[in-house]
Amino acid sequence: MTKQDTIRWVAKPTVFMLCLIPLAWIAWRIINGDVGTGLNANPVEQVNRYLGDWALRFVLIALSVTPLVKITNWTTPVRFRRMLGLFAFAYATLHLANYVIADQFFNWTDIWADIVKRVFITLGMATYLVLLALAVTSPKGMVKKMGAKRWRLLHRGAYLAGVGGVIHYWMMVKADLSGPIIHAAILGLLLGYRVIKRQNKSTAPARNSGKMQMV
Amino acid sequence: MLIKNKILSDIKSSEITPKSVFMNRRHFIKSAAIASAGSALMPGLLSSSALAATDPKRGKPLVGIIKSPLSTSEEPTPYNHVTTYNNFYEFGTGKDDPAVMAGDFKPRPWKVQVGGEVGKPGVYDFDDLIRPHKLEERIYRFRCVEAWSMIVPWVGIPLAEIIKRFEPTSKAKYVAFETLNDPERMPGQVRRVLSWPYVEGLRMDEAMNPLTLMAVGLYGEELLGQNGAPIRLVVPWKYGFKSIKSIVGIRLVDTMPPTTWNRSAPHEYGFYANVNPEVSHPRWSQAKERRLGGGYFSPKVETLKFNGYGEEVASLYDGMDLSKSF
């Protein structure tokens, strides 16, 4: 097996299965009802928080690929970035579906009222639209179709998704901000790294000019 | 819609497991878990005492409880939900934290400091506070500001009866309550997510309303730590955060006392905090609520003004703008 084959047939399916573990875990708990490791008394809220947490985590994981590659000079993780981003989108979709179906039961009047009245929901929806745009334009062919420059610009939206997700989480919490603070700190590191790199780059001679540009 | 609701609520009431059955099931599961863990670790050495023990996480049974005509006929929320899904930040901010963190909480000895505009101030021992009264069971709707609700079979004493014993003076206009502040016993207080101690208050007429209860138990048993042992307030027409837990201080005062959530976020939580579907909260529409115990697919139900206790309490707020005094 060549290295390419290993990535394609072993590493990618493995990472894919790993990314499904959080989903399998919550599905198992829903199926098992309220016994043992099952859900608590308010399963709709519990599932909603859980899926939202994982959507945000996958955004952060996807955003950590570039710093990881630049720091270690190990380029393989770049091959997984799209998959990780799509998992962020998938968990965000389930998070939204849980809200629309289980929580509001397709009551569009109430959903619209929530979007208009509650800033954290407005922001959550906007963040979801960003992830949707990134997901739709994620196939390789789209880079050519859109032009690499425009595609890259659009996919800087991943930063927005991170910021939107963290603020959405922050505003949702009543009093204990430890969760949002941790996620904000990680996001701060990931985005801060990019800002510093960019500043260095604009002052230093272009060393990377031939290499693939990374978002 | 009506038909759908009917069917779903039918399923809900018939699905509620009788307490004896689920307690057996819980016990069975627990025993099975202990047995399997035990046999995995040390096959053949399974101790029989682990299987024989009764559930230590139950309150002591209370005796001489009388039924109250003020109870709702709605089916109570299962015991395991009432005791494992709690907002009690003194024991952690997660819903399942209090049940775990309050496991070792010792609610005895317990003293309640009574002061302010009363003829009989002093430090009352919990037993002295309770003993002169008859315990009543009050099955009340309990509505959290987070848009979920339970039906809880509380056991307690009308607050009015207790307050009368303190002989309030004519200057007493409000009652201020205080929760225990002891990070060693309430580990959640190590972090200042709220300003400790938790404080709450009622207007005198609210406190003296026959619905207002000082609860010492639920499901016929003493309160567990996570539910506010050994003594807590229950004000069924107000959002749950008004029903302050583990009370160590009661003061009768002439001005509106501060309340913890109002201090934390004044634009979100008012002093009155009456359940009101017409007054939306910045985080939650209050028009509907999720009745706990129905499982993942149970729909929300309409929230009633004053949580359905309007007949008893609406007159307390005559002439007040409840969207301003929220």
Residue B168's pLDDT band (cuts 50, 70, 90): very high
- The DSSP secondary structure of B168-230, one letter per residue, reads B-TT--EEEEEE---TTTSGGGGS-SSPSSPEEEEEHHHHTSTT-EEEEEETTEEPPGGGTSS
B152-168 average pLDDT score: 97
Contacts of residue A172 in chain B, CB cutoff 8 Å?
Answer: 283
Residues in chain A with pLDDT values less than 50? 209-211
Contacts of residue B146 in chain A, CB cutoff 8 Å?
Answer: 45
Residues in chain B: 326
Residue B154 has pLDDT above 80, yes or no: yes
Q: What is the pLDDT of residue A188?
A: 97
Q: What is the pLDDT of residue A20?
A: 97
Reference A35, options B82, B54, B33; nearest CA is B33
Task: Sheet containing B247-253: give its strands across.
Answer: B122-125, B111-116, B247-253, B174-179, B199-203
In B125-165, alpha helices (H): 126-130, 159-165
Q: What is the pLDDT of residue B53?
A: 42
CA atoms within 13 A on the CB side of B61: 3
Residue B4 has pLDDT above 50, yes or no: no
Q: What is the pLDDT of residue A200?
A: 85
Strand segments (E) across chain A: none
Yes or no: domain B58-317 corresponds to CATH 3.40.50.720:
no
Q: What is the pLDDT of residue B185?
A: 96
Q: CA–CA separation, A22 vs A51, rounded Å?
A: 9
Reference B158, options B86, B234, B218; nearest CA is B234
What type of residue is A203? T
Q: What is the pLDDT of residue B117?
A: 97
Per cent of chain B over pLDDT 70 is 83
Q: What is the pLDDT of residue A198?
A: 87
**What is the pLDDT of chain B when averaged over all its residues?**
87
ipTM of the complex: 0.84
Q: What is the pLDDT of residue A28?
A: 87
Contacts of residue B89 in chain A, CB cutoff 8 Å?
Answer: 175-176
Q: CA–CA separation, A51 vs A57, rounded Å?
A: 10
Q: What is the pLDDT of residue A128?
A: 98
Structural domain spans, chain A: 42-203
Structural domain spans, chain B: 1-56, 58-317
- Pick the residue from chain A with its C-alpha nearest to B283: A118
Cβ contacts from A onto B, under 8 A:
65
Q: What is the pLDDT of residue A11?
A: 92
Alpha-carbon distance values, B179 to A180, B157, B231, B259 (Å): 28, 18, 10, 11
Q: CA–CA separation, B20 vs B78, rounded Å?
A: 11
Q: What is the dihedral of CA B284, B288, B291, B297, to 10 degrees?
A: -90
Residue B296 has pLDDT above 90, yes or no: no
From the number of C-beta atoms within 10 Å of its C-beta (0-12, 13-18, 19+), residue A87 rates as buried
**CB of A27 within 8 A of CB of A43?**
no
Q: Among the listed ranges A203-212, B14-23, B83-92, which one has the minimum average pLDDT value?
A: B14-23
Per cent of chain B over pLDDT 90 is 77
Using an 8 Å CB-CB cutoff, list residues of chain B that contact chain A: 25, 29, 33, 77, 80-81, 84-85, 89, 93, 95-96, 146, 148, 150, 191, 193-194, 264-265, 280, 282-283, 285, 287-288, 290, 292-293, 295-297, 299-300
Q: What is the pLDDT of residues B189-247, one digit of tens each?
A: 999 999 999 999 999 999 999 999 999 999 999 999 999 999 999 999 999 999 999 99
Residue B38's pLDDT band (cuts 50, 70, 90): very low
Q: What is the pLDDT of residue A36?
A: 53
Q: Among the listed ranges A9-23, A30-44, B120-134, B249-263, which one has the minimum average pLDDT value?
A: A30-44
Q: What is the pLDDT of residue B283?
A: 85
Residue B133's pLDDT band (cuts 50, 70, 90): very high
Q: How far is A175 from chain B (nearest CA, A)?
A: 6
Residue B25 has pLDDT above 50, yes or no: no
